[in-house]
Chains A and B, each alone.
Chain A
C-alpha cells in the first residue's frame, strides 16, 4: 500500500508539473497581437504590477462585481493558502520557524476554507443564473475540494493520524525512499483526492491560477500611442 501511494504521488507530481509547465509554456509563447487592456489601465509597467497584485491578493475585480462570491471565494482561497503553508511542516525537517508559527492559524483556516467552498456550492445550486452555467465537473470540483478539506480536518479533530509517521513518509518520498504510511481511512482518502486534484489541475478550470497572470486585459500597459506593439506573425504582414 505504501508503495502504491508512492507511485501515485510520483505520477501525480510528474503530471502536475509537466502539465502545468506545458500549459504555461503555451500561454507564454502564444502572442497577444493587439493592445487590449481593460481601461482605465495603468500606463506604466509598475502600475501593471500593482494592478495584478491587487487582483491576485484581493480579487479586486470580483469585489467590484459581487460581494457574496467575493466573500466565499476569498475565504476559500485565503484559507487554502494558509492550510498549504501549514502543510509545509510535513515536507521540511527541521520545520521552518514561520511554518511553526502559523500552525494554529492553519487550523482555523481549514474551517474558513470549507465554509467558503460550501458557500460557493450553495450559490451554485440556489442561484438560477449560476446553476445554469454549471457543468457536472463544476460540482465535482467542489466536491473534491470539500472532501479534501473535510478528510484533512477529520485527522485533526476526529480520528488522529500518526503524523510523525506521515512526515517520515513524505520526507522519504522526497529522497526516493519508501517508508511506511499509516493505514488510516481519512488519511488515505485525503492523499488520494489530493493526488487526483494534482492530476486534473493542468487540464481543468484550475488553470485560472496561471491564467490570470497571462490575461492581456489585466497584464498589458496602456501605452499604445507611445510604443508600437507588434506580434511576430503580425510583423510579417508589414512587409
Chain B
C-alpha cells in the first residue's frame, strides 16, 4: 500500500538510542503554488535575493517575538528534549530531535545575529543561509506538529513550536510556503471554511443530519444556521460537517443543545473553527481568520460563543482570540469593547463544548443511559493543543478532567493509557501542525508510533476497543493511520458521539424505551 515500512512496536515504554542520519530528509511537503501564496499575502514564488530577505525577516521576527529571541539564545544543549518528540521516536532521524530541529534555524541565527557566529562560525555551529538550508527547513520544519511536548520537558521551556512557526513564516515571506496550509487558508478567507463548502451545500448537509437524529430519537432536533438573535454561536471545525467520526460528534452537540433548551446557531460566514494561520506563524492571517468569527458574532448578535471539538482551534480560540480579535473578556480598548459589550460575561468566552456539556452534567440536567456504550471499552487521547496550549474549566488541568468526566458520564468502561503518554505528556497523533496531508503520509504514520504503542498496550491489557478524541485533526489522522498498525479505522470516536449515544433526551424514543411508558415501537 505504501513505499515505506510501518514501524514495529518496540518494547513499551522505551527510549530510542540509535540514530539514522537523514532518514526522513526526503519527506518534504509540496511547495505552495503562486496562487496559494498570493491569496494570503505572500510572494508567489521564491523571490530574488531571497537569502537576504530571509535573514531580514528573521531579524524582524526576533524583534517582535520574545519567545524566539530568548529561545534561540538560551538552549544549553543539555539533551533533555532529545528523546521527547514522536517524530524522532518513529524515524530515528536525529534532525527530528527537538533541539536539533531548533538548531536548523539557530545555526543561521548565530551566523547573522551573534558575535560568536559572525567570527567563529565553526566553533558554535553557525552556517550561512543557503539553498541547502532552505530545503532542510522545508523538510524538517514540516515534520514538527508544533505539539509542544518538548517544551514541557525543557528546563527553560524552550518551545520548538515557536521556532518552527518562525521558520515557516520566514519561508512564506520569501515565497516558499507549504501547499497544504496555504491553500486551505485561502479557502477559509474566501468561502468561510477549510473545505470550501458554500452556505447552501452546508444547509443541505445539516438537514440530512437533522433527519438522521429524528429517525434515531423521534425528536425534531435542529442544527440551525445563520439565525439572527440566537444566544449561542457554535464555531466548529468544518470536518464536523462531512468526515467520520466527526459528524457523530456534531450530532452529539446538537442533542446536548436541544436537551439544554438553548437557542443556538452556526454561521455560514464563519463556518470554520480551524485557523491554520497558527501553523505558519502568521499573526496577520491569524487575526484575519479570527475576525471572521468576530464579525459573525456581531452580525448575529449572539451572547455566547461555544467552540466544537478541535485541538489547535481551541488553542487559538482560548489563548489567542481575545488578543487578535477581542473575543473574550477584560478588554478595555475601543476595538475589544465593541464585541465584549454584547457578550454575556457570566459564561467563559469562548467556551468549549466539553465545558458546556460538563456544566449541564454537574447541574444534573442530562440523563444518560451508559449501557448504550457497554459494547465499548474506551480510552481517551489528549490532544496536544488542548493539553499543552489551553485550558478548560476554572483550574489548571481542567482540560484533562473535563473530557474524561464526559466519557465517564456516558460510558461504563473507561481506561487511561500509560501516564507517560497522556495529559501534559500526551503524544501527538502525528498529523497536527499542518501535516495532515497525503504528501506527508510517511511521517504521519511514523510519528504516530508512540501513541499507537500506548494504545496497543491498553488494547492488550484492558481490552480497549475505542479511543475518543476532541480534535478534528486527531480524528482524521487516526482514521487514516490506525489500519497501518492493524487497528480498525473506526476505533476512533468523537467524545460527543459517546455523549450523544448515551444521552436520554426528554420525550425521545430512548426515554420511552427505558421508562416503559407508551408503546415500545421504535422501528
Contacts and interface: CB of A to CB of B under 8 A. Distances in A.
Interface of A: 23, 26-27, 30-36, 38-43, 47, 55, 59, 61-62, 64-66, 69, 73, 120, 123-124, 127-130, 132-138, 140, 200, 203-205, 207-208, 211-212, 214-218, 222, 224-231, 233-235, 237-239
30 contacts: A30-B65, A30-B69, A33-B65, A33-B323, A38-B151, A40-B424, A61-B155, A65-B154, A66-B79, A66-B153, A124-B77, A129-B97, A133-B79, A133-B97, A135-B77, A135-B123, A136-B125, A205-B75, A207-B73, A208-B74, A214-B66, A216-B66, A217-B67, A217-B148, A217-B151, A224-B319, A225-B322, A228-B322, A228-B332, A235-B333
Nearest to B286: A34
B152 A205 contact: no
Interface of B: 17-19, 62-67, 69-71, 73-84, 94, 97, 99-100, 103, 114-116, 120, 122-125, 148, 151-159, 162, 283-284, 287, 318-320, 322-324, 326, 328-333, 335-336, 348-350, 387-391, 394-397, 399-400, 424
Contacts of B330: 226-228
A62 B387 CA distance: 19
Contacts of A133: 77, 79, 82, 94, 97, 99-100, 103
Contacts of A39: 387-391, 396, 399, 424
Given A228-B322, A228-B336, 9 more contacts: A36-B67, A39-B388, A41-B396, A65-B80, A130-B82, A224-B328, A225-B318, A226-B329, A234-B323
Contact of B124 (A132, A137, A216, A231): A137
B81 A65 contact: yes
Contacts of B331: 228
A40 B79 contact: no
A128 B159 CA distance: 23
A36 B323 contact: no
Contact of A225 (B77, B84, B284, B328): B328
B74 A36 contact: no
A215 B156 contact: yes
A137 B123 contact: yes
B493 to A, nearest CB: 24
Given A39-B391, A237-B287, A134 B159 contact: no
Given A26-B69, A225-B328, A36 B79 contact: no
Given A26-B69, A39-B396, A135-B77, A129 B83 contact: yes
A203 B116 contact: yes
Contact of B63 (A30, A217, A224): A30
A205 B123 CA distance: 13
A33, A39, A55: which has the most chain B beta carbons within 10 Å?
A39
A226 B80 CA distance: 34
Contact of A59 (B75, B155, B424): B155
Nearest to A235: B333
A30 B319 contact: no
